[in-house]
Amino acid sequence: MSVWPAWEVQEHDGATSWFHVRLAFADGARVDALAVVSDQCVSVEDVRAQPALSLDDLTVLADWIEGPLFEACGLEPEAVEGEESGGARRARPAWPRGIEGRWLVAQEYRAAQEEGVDPVLAVMCATGHSRRRSLRLISQARDAGYLTPRHARR
């Protein structure tokens, strides 16, 4: 993770600082964010990610970058009640490969169908992968027999 200052506004009793944050992953995924540190709090103002972050990943992004941002400001984060201690968080969920991954894709796909939502989008959110990669995973789940075959084209 890279953190560098963007700008700072001095106030009567302190300062509000904006930072550029970049998270780069071995698989080529990248998250760029503009974050604000003020009053022992981290706020995220802008996020760009390739591939797109799921809503779950977006909700934990501020928590995940909080430590390095406070360190860059020379501050100590306040302990929050009920917060896990010592547990590292990932910006993207870990998704199993092989048969287990295909079975889980099928579960997500069918659950979305039952709820009446877009099943491909549900798989994208669950896996953290792009639409193209998610469609490939769905196809593999079909080939493994976990999902019914697609309708034949006429």
Q: Evaluate if residue 114 carries a pLDDT over 80.
A: yes
68 close to 31: Cβ distance less than 8 angstroms? no
Report phi then psi at 108, rounded to 5.
-60, -45
Q: Which of 95, 42, 102 is nearest to 67 (CA)?
A: 42
Which residues have a Cβ under 8 Å from the Cβ of 95 and sit 6 or more positions away?
A: 101, 104, 126, 127, 128, 129
Higher pLDDT: 124 or 147? It is: 147
**Residue linked to tokens 């995924």:** 29
Q: What does the mean pLDDT of the chain come to? A: 77
- Claim: this prediction has a pTM higher than 0.75: no
Instruction: State the pLDDT confidence band at 86, using cuts at 50, 70 and 90.
Output: very low
State how far the Cα of 63 lies from the Cα of 44, in Å rounded to an integer. Answer: 10
The 10s digit of each residue's pLDDT in 68-82 is: 777 776 666 554 333
63 close to 27: Cβ distance less than 8 angstroms? no
Least confident of 8-22, 40-54, 60-74, 92-106: 60-74
